[in-house]
Structure 1
Amino acid sequence: MKKNLLFVIDSLECAGAEKSLVTLLSLLDYSKFNVDLMLFAHGTALEPLVPEQVNILAPLKYTKFSKIGLKKAFIHTAKNNEWKMLYARLKYSTRIRRKKYSNPQKARLFWQSISSSIESSTKLYDIAISYAQGIPTFYVAEKIKARRKFAWVNVTYRLLEEDKKFQTKFYDQIDKIVSVSDSTKEVFLETFPSYKNKTEVIYDINNPKFISEMAELGEGYKDNFDGIRILTIGRLAKQKGYDIALRACKKLKDEGIYFRWYALGKGPLKKEIQASIIEQGLTEHFILLGVDPNPYSFIKNTDIYVQTSRTEGFGLALAEARMLNIPVVTTRFDAVYNQMVDGKNGLVVDMNGDAVYEGILKMLNDHQLRESIVNYLKIEKKGNIKEINKFYQLIG
């Protein structure tokens, strides 16, 4: 008899955890599993890549309600007598505008405001999996009936005491906690040491064959630029270190290097980053490309991949660049040495613009080093689809 699995994630935007989940779903043996997928946001970039055997569940009532304009929401509420949802929406909207909050704080405020308006599932699953921390984990813990519940942690998870206390009651209901790297596990256990015996590591799964095939299908760059292309992939958020990237970019420009630095991603700092680009006179040098569901054709046609992150759970974009044999310059974030060998498959530098600039310059000017790194990339072990075996062991 097939096992009934449920995966829950915020959305399928083009980001690390989301790409990892799509890859995992593409590798599952559907002769053994019936798979449902719950999303809190629909119509995002990677949804077309979900295997047809996966049943993407209909949006929750509150998810649909939250997408309509406020005027229509009042009309809907009056017609359907659903004042509870309107009150919850207004409560969260008011609280979230008071000041800037971290992602864990936003997730707590959302759940405190909205959870009573979110319906519980009536289906009993053999296994329910939250594939991201925060709201998906709260939902699986509180709203899903399952014989076993698992929760993925795919970021460096340091919490304030209030958020730690709030989240403990949800993790207490989880049978296994899965971190995507050794360093992610270590940081998680600094926050939640009592979960040591139920926490293990399964790396974000990446499939070199899939990435190579996708790299041949995409359109990639369209600007006919014939100079050096630098690429960064990551959400436009503080933890991705775009301020570091712009500092390095300005120094490259001042050095007279003929280059363009492209960034794939979207996020809350878009306006701020765009303003900084204009202020520093980098409009021809630092290009925001938005989101593309197939970043691999961009990576393939890049001269250097640069990651300026302050934190990463694993660093999936680095792995993807390595799989396409692109030299990497990256900051020394927590999990970087889970995959990087400094001087062998790329350069690992300090977390500041000057160091990133020096790393890029070294990669450009030291042709022997660059050739050595490319040759190493061509022979190093690619991908980790064998991690699927750890997943099968986990779910029994």
Structure 2
Amino acid sequence: MGKKILFVINTMGRAGAETAMLELLGRLDSPAYEISLYVIMGQGEMIHKLPPYVRLRNPGFDAHSVLSREGKRGMIRTVCRAFFKNGGQIGKICYIVKNLMPMVRRGKLQTDKLLWRMLSDGGLRFQEEFDLAVAWLEGASAYYVADHVKAARKCAFVHIDYESAGYTREMDRDCWDSFDRIFMVSDEVREHFLAVYPEHAGKAGIFHNLVDQEGIRRRSREAGGFSDGYGGKRLLTVGRLTYQKAYDIAIEAMKLLKDRGYRARWYVLGEGDQRRALEKKIAAMGLQEDFLLLGAVENPYPYYAQADLYIHATRFEGKSIAIQEAQTLGRAVVASDCNGNREQIEDGADGLLCALTPEAVADSIASLLEDEEKRIALGQAAGRRDFAQGQELETFLALLD
């Protein structure tokens, strides 16, 4: 009988953390392991990519995106069920109210952070004990594995800048004490996590995202990509339509580029709760034909391969898989000089880092639109990056020894 491993994740939506988990699962195809997956929300379109040897432990699953109309209805039903399941309604309400007040004072309401604890407490309970339980994300996954899973060993993964993401010690309720190892996806993520939890330095390690570079290159040659016949320069960004990704700044940068006369078009692959607000801003600036929200796509790699420049101007990051994908396909990258991004780009050698202002983003893009030789050289340097990752898998499997 193989070692029993349970992975827990919040949703299976189309995003970087889910992609990274699927890559790891794809490398665990062995009779030595019995692998299970539990999805807190029981929802997400990426579930179709789950390897056949991984047992999905949700009794029912909704493959709609949580961002679609059907998915949002399903999400509301899940939240309501979680409130009543396993009791403790008064405690659930008190937790939400207690953590709502600091958000109100900061002027930044984050509904998902308020609900993760309730969704964890209202989740499925397993009677069996696992050899290893893995909380793949912060929030509900970490709370659930810490409080409600029986396992010989427990580990967690942190993918974001913990200080900037909005989590607090009050929300977490000492959940990190329950883990034997806490893996961070980059050195900067570790630094910012330990700024909040310095007492966990001894068990905070680094586990870089696993990236299948050959698979990315192969899929980039499949049919797909841009279909609008545009003859100017194509700018590409891949990422969810959220506040973190700073598309409001990108739209203003695109307006500056158009006003300066550059023949370029900016495309975005991704969905999110900011779509309506971004569409209004695009229309207000007259950029309906210049800044295009294409939605999420199953295979983004032909778009990378066909783009002239990749832009990743975000407010903060953990470690961006989108940047790694762009680099794998030899695209020059312009990124904001923020946590996460600066660890992935050597400024002036394989990309450009800039301040997160419309003027700085526009200036950096313009410099590479004007200098094709430099743009090509940066892309070639990016394409030579080798994300060798044998050590990460060994580190993970060592938890089973």
Bucket of the pairwise TM-score, normalised by the shorter protein? 0.7 to 0.9
Q: Secondary structure at the match of 2:221?
A: helix
CA distance in 1, matches of 2:108, 2:223: 36
**TM-score, normalising length from structure 1?**
0.87
- Partner residue, 1:79: none
- Partner residue, 2:209: 204
Task: Give the ranges of 4+ consecutive aligned residues of structure 1 lying more than 6 Å apart after TM superposition.
Answer: 82-88, 94-100, 159-162
- Partner residue, 1:261: 266
Q: 2:312 aligns with which of 307, 311, 317?
A: 307
Which runs of 5 or more residues in structure 1 are unaligned?
A: 77-81
Change (3 A) 1:161 1:168: farther
- Alignment of structure 1 residues 31-50 onto 2, 5 Å: 31-42=31-42, 44-50=44-50
Deviation at 1:31, TM superposition (A): 2.5
Q: 2:112 aligns with which of 102, 106, 116?
A: 106
Q: 1:171 aligns with which of 157, 160, 176?
A: 176
Deviation at 1:206, TM superposition (A): 0.7
- Alignment of structure 1 residues 223-302 onto 2, 5 Å: 223-302=228-307
Tell me, yes or no, if the aligned pair for 1:236 and 1:242 is still in contact at 8 Å.
yes
CA distance in 1, matches of 2:76, 2:275: 23
CA distance in 1, matches of 2:4, 2:350: 41
- Alignment of structure 1 residues 100-139 onto 2, 5 Å: 101=108, 103=110, 106-111=112-117, 113-139=118-144
CA distance in 2, matches of 1:87, 1:67: 21
- Partner residue, 1:360: 365
Deviation at 1:59, TM superposition (A): 4.4
Deviation at 1:155, TM superposition (A): 0.2
Deviation at 1:236, TM superposition (A): 1.2
- Partner residue, 2:15: 15
Deviation at 1:390, TM superposition (A): 2.6
Change (3 A) 1:110 1:382: closer
CA distance in 2, matches of 1:102, 1:21: 28
CA distance in 2, matches of 1:293, 1:85: 39
Q: Secondary structure at the match of 2:179?
A: coil
Deviation at 1:48, TM superposition (A): 2.1
Q: Percent identity?
A: 28
- Partner residue, 1:24: 24
Tell me, yes or no, if the aligned pair for 1:263 and 1:287 is still in contact at 8 Å.
yes
- Partner residue, 2:322: 317
Question: Residue 11 of structure 2 aligns to which amino acid in structure 1?
Answer: S
Change (3 A) 1:59 1:135: farther
Deviation at 1:125, TM superposition (A): 0.6
CA distance in 2, matches of 1:56, 1:297: 31
114-123 or 249-258: bigger deviation: 114-123
Q: Secondary structure at the match of 2:132?
A: strand
Tell me, yes or no, if the aligned pair for 2:269 and 2:294 is still in contact at 8 Å.
yes
Tell me, yes or no, if the aligned pair for 2:42 and 2:58 is still in contact at 8 Å.
no
- Partner residue, 1:345: 350
Change (3 A) 1:308 1:293: same
Tell me, yes or no, if the aligned pair for 1:40 and 1:59 is still in contact at 8 Å.
no
Tell me, yes or no, if the aligned pair for 1:260 and 1:285 is still in contact at 8 Å.
yes
Deviation at 1:3, TM superposition (A): 0.8
354-363 or 36-45: bigger deviation: 36-45
CA distance in 1, matches of 2:146, 2:88: 24
- Partner residue, 2:195: 190
Which runs of 5 or more residues in structure 2 are unaligned?
A: none
CA distance in 1, matches of 2:184, 2:4: 23
Change (3 A) 1:298 1:162: closer
190-199 or 374-383: bigger deviation: 374-383
Q: Secondary structure at the match of 1:348?
A: strand
CA distance in 1, matches of 2:174, 2:309: 44
CA distance in 2, matches of 1:21, 1:123: 23
166-175 or 30-39: bigger deviation: 166-175
